[in-house]
Amino acid sequence: IGIVDLTVLDTGSCNNLINLNLAGNPLGENITDLPNLNCRLSLQTLSLSQCGLKYDSLKNILRAPYPSITSLVLSNNTLGIGSAELLAHTPHFPSLSRLALMHTHTPWSELKQLVCARPLTFLDMRRNLGVCPRALRKALDESEYEGMEILPTPQMPSPPRATFSYK
């Protein structure tokens, strides 16, 4: 069962929504409503794991600001080449500190660029193209990832499907 029409979330109480987990919902290329929702302004955690997202889906999501999001889960989507570069240079996630990109078909060279461009405290990059956390740490200057947790280590907790939390 999946939520496809995200506009049902955009009600008056949506302005207090802080956690939105849409994991496992078949949003795919049709995720055009998310950037238009007012609740994106109050969101702190957004999980879009296993939603059938691709590079163009990510581009669409990144076309609007999400000023409060600190945690973004995009794991188990086929984002591919260019996705980490988009995330590295978007001005629309100024508070982002935790990012899960496990099994997104993202090349390690882009992940290195992402780590250098964003002050992350957590990055899950397991099961990507040629990614080895040890090699990434070795390729980076120690100051570029100091204090950052780079998986593989215990996984970022994932709440059940389509969960909502309000302030």
pTM: 0.80
Least confident of 67-71, 81-85, 108-112: 108-112
Query: Confidence band (pLDDT; 50, 70, 90) for 154?
Result: very low
Q: What share of the chain in percent tops pLDDT 90?
A: 32
Distance CA 113, CA 118 (A): 9
